[in-house]
Amino acid sequence: MMTDVQELKERGLQVSCINLSCGYYEPHTDHEFTIKKDLMNCLSLVEHIIENCTEPYPHQPEIPARRWRSYDEFDEAVDEIFALLDQGELWSAEDLYYMYHSVFPELDMEDYRRIYTEYYNLNTIEYGEQKL
């Protein structure tokens, strides 16, 4: 929510809205970049939304507690971080924490160290070399 969406909601916007990522990676860093194919996919999604989602959707400000308890933030973080690490960049557990702690606020530094270690344990062969 640390986007313009938060400002809109604080000013009373009563419909659902989203800040849509559109093909950029490592945002807000000196290494930010885009991939044209991903930008074009986002454009297609936005065109689909404009053409097909013509009614306002009421905003439901809180996730019911029951639903939140069944949601496993750690598993989602693993999926996202593994996908990032698969791109071949070298990140530390501290880098991962810095990049994702606002996305996964329930996770602490130890969780990020665990994800980091798990990734590299799964991606090494018996001689200790990374898989290519």
DSSP secondary structure letters along 113-132: HHHHHHHHHHTB-TTSPBP-
pLDDT at 62: 56
pLDDT at 2: 55
Is residue 79 within 8 A of residue 118, CB to CB? The reply is no
Does residue 31 sit in helix, strand or coil? coil
pLDDT at 103: 87
pLDDT at 90: 87
Q: Flag residues of the chain having pLDDT under 50.
A: 1, 63-71, 125-127, 130-132
pLDDT at 69: 35
pLDDT at 1: 40
What are the tens digits of pLDDT across the range 13-51?
A: 777 777 777 777 887 788 888 888 888 988 998 899 889
Distances, alpha carbon 63 to alpha carbons 59, 103, 123, in Å: 11, 16, 36
pLDDT at 60: 65
Q: CA dihedral defined by 6, 9, 10, 14, rounded to 10 degrees? A: 180
Q: How many Cα atoms within 13 Å fall on the side-chain side of residue 85?
A: 24
pLDDT at 126: 40
pLDDT at 132: 43
pLDDT at 61: 58
